[in-house]
Amino acid sequence: MQMSATEPRFSFGQNWLSFIQHLDEERIQAAERSLKEFLGRDDLGGRTFLDIGCGSGLFSLAARRLGATVHSFDCDADCVACTRTLKDRFFSNDPAWTVEKGSILDENYLDRLGRFDIVYAWGVLHHTGALFKAMEFTGKLVKPGGLLYLAVYNHQPCWSNFHRTVKRLYVNSPWPGRFLILSLYVSFQVLKGLVKDIILFRNPLARYRVKKRLRGMSVWHDWVDWVGAYPFETARPEEVFDFFRKRGFILEKLKTCGGGHGCNEYVFSLPEKAERK
């Protein structure tokens, strides 16, 4: 799906500007832990790390705290501002962390970046309006011997088109309409979780604490992101796997969302002598 350049988009940066007001050490450590666990590395010292669509800047910060030399970029000016705020707060005037505005679909911009040991694109490429083109450009930024860590929305035959319609309606609606859509969605999620927890005899509040521990994220801000995040595209795990396999990548790790809504996570490696296609 290639969307029109004039079509409204979700203001990701406005959501993240709110999120970083609540950023604490526990969230940062959770982000670090998720990087270490999925990349299989406790230390990123001596490695270069590219954060595509850096959003809040949380994972750029985590990578820098783990020792990587970090380059962060986003096409949303507010996201760039978020990331610069975190850099100024934790790594002021640090030459090993660069933050700037840029797009994964801008070939001229990408050509001057070079290649990186670790390329990170979590929940980003499916919001470009050109998912497979974005994946193509992302793969070219990985250094031979490097890793690509990405997360892409899972395709659901019965639900993906519905979700796309809701998101498109949200970004095209005036404020009262957006408030109504968000209120209905959040109410549904809370009620669904509550019923499930009661049936399974679980603490209804536990799911919200788990979210913070997993990746350092916020349930509320993820809900806002989920409702409004447009453009919106999806891909089946086998589509992503085949796409990168044909370009010389090897799948090292895969975590699916079990066929439900959410992101499938992938870590691909690019062999030293890979034949790039």
Residues 62 and 133 in one domain: yes
Per-residue pLDDT at 6 exceeds 80: no
Q: How far apart are CA 201 and CA 144, in angstroms?
A: 49
Q: What percent of the chain has pLDDT over 90?
A: 59
pLDDT digits (tens, 9 = 90+) for 85-139: 999 999 999 999 999 999 999 999 999 999 999 999 999 999 999 999 999 999 9
Q: State how far the Cα of 73 lies from the Cα of 99, in Å rounded to an integer.
A: 6
Is residue 191 included in any domain, yes or no?
A: yes
pLDDT at 159: 84
- Asked whether residue 79 falls in the same domain as residue 66, the answer is yes
Residue 123 lies in a domain: yes
Is 103 part of any domain? yes
pLDDT classification of 210: cutoffs 50, 70, 90: low
Same domain, 118 and 173: no
Whichever domain contains 49, its CATH number is 3.40.50.150
| Domain boundary residue, one of 212, 228, 244 | 228
Instruction: Choose between 264 and 219: higher pLDDT.
Output: 264
Contact 105, 137 (CB under 8 A): yes
| Higher-pLDDT residue of 56, 1 | 56
Mean pLDDT across 226-248: 92
Is the pLDDT reported for residue 217 higher than 70? Answer: no
Residue 276 lies in a domain: no
Question: Cβ(195)–Cβ(187) under 8 Å?
Answer: no
- Whether 211 shows a pLDDT value over 70: the answer reads no
pLDDT of residue 271 exceeding 60, the answer is yes
pLDDT band at 18 (very low <50, low <70, confident <90, very high): confident
Predicted pLDDT of residue 276: 52
In a domain, 277, yes or no: no
Q: What is the pTM of this model?
A: 0.86
- Compute the average pLDDT of residues 164-170: 87
Say whether both 188 and 53 belong to one domain. Answer: no
Query: Which pLDDT belongs to residue 2?
Result: 44
Owning domain of residue 70? 12-156+233-269
What is the number of structural domains in the chain?
2
Cβ-based neighbours of 63, under 8 Å, separated by 6 or more = 35, 44, 49, 51, 70, 118, 120
The Cα–Cα gap between 7 and 19 comes to 26
36 pLDDT higher than 70: yes
pLDDT at 3: 46
Grade residue 182 by pLDDT with cuts at 50, 70 and 90: confident
Q: What is the 3-state secondary structure (H, E, C) of the chain?
A: CCCCCCCCCCCHHHHHHHHHHHCCHHHHHHHHHHHHHHHCCCCCCCCEEEEECCCCCHHHHHHHHCCCEEEEEECCHHHHHHHHHHHHHHCCCCCCEEEEECCCCCHHHHHCCCCEEEEEEECCHHHCCCHHHHHHHHHCCEEEEEEEEEEEEECCCCCHHHHHHHHHHHHCCCHHHHHHHHHHHHHHHHHHHHHHHHHCCCCCCHHHHHHHHHHCCCHHHHHHHHHHCCCCCCECHHHHHHHHHCCCCEEEEEECCCCCCCEEEEEEECCCCCCCC
